[in-house]
Amino acid sequence: MADYETTVQEPSILQLQPLIDNRDPLNIYVGNPDLRPAYRHRVSFRYNQFNMATAFGFFANISADYTTNAITNAQSVDEFLIRTTMPVNVQNNYSIRGNFNTNYQLAKIKSRFMLGTTLARTHSKNVLNGQEQPITNHILSGNFRYNFRPTDNFETNLSATVNQQLTAYAFSTTEQAFL
């Protein structure tokens, strides 16, 4: 099965009003009246198969999102270490995700095994001191579950999950000070 959908994220009133919120003088928020709505495209493909005779099942889901005019908070820090935050639009945010799961039953030992994995890649942008900084995130996850049910009155389960997440930030400036 394949699906395509689009959604629009309108900026909030707070994001659009050009007012300065300086209740915290070290962290100032400024609205952006030029902010445009974010427009997301999503396509997904799903496949599901289950054989009742063998109790074997397989499920796969692959999806991809692409957002134009994605809304993010741009931040700038001046020489007095005052941070100013303003919502802005950025381009080329996308994500790709795949989930794959299988399960099968071994009736002779009254057990069921389930295996699954998730792979994902997300690319977004942050704005720091007027420069767009790409952020890439990779996720690899796997899970295993075992179910043992020798009688209708007794059941035990064992499960394990492993996750790995790698995030990469690309900074285009070589002069950075961390205080």
- R_g over Cα of the chain: 24
Q: For 120-157, what is each residue's pLDDT tens digit?
A: 999 999 999 989 989 999 999 999 999 998 888 999 99
Q: What is the pLDDT of residue 177?
A: 47
Encode 78-122 in three state secondary structure.
CCCCCEEEEEEEECCEEEEEEEEEEEEEEHHHCEEEEEEEEEEEE
What are the CB-based long-range contacts (under 8 Å, 24+) for 102-106? Answer: 102/56, 102/57, 102/58, 102/59, 103/55, 103/56, 103/57, 104/54, 104/55, 104/56, 104/57, 105/54, 105/55, 105/56
pLDDT over 70 (residue 174): no
137-164 in b/e form (b: 16+ CB < 10 A) is eebeeeeebebeeeeeeeeeeeeeeeee
pTM score? 0.77
pLDDT digits (tens, 9 = 90+) for 52-68: 888 899 999 999 999 99
pLDDT of res. 178: 45
Tell me the C-alpha distance between 31 and 77, whole Å: 17
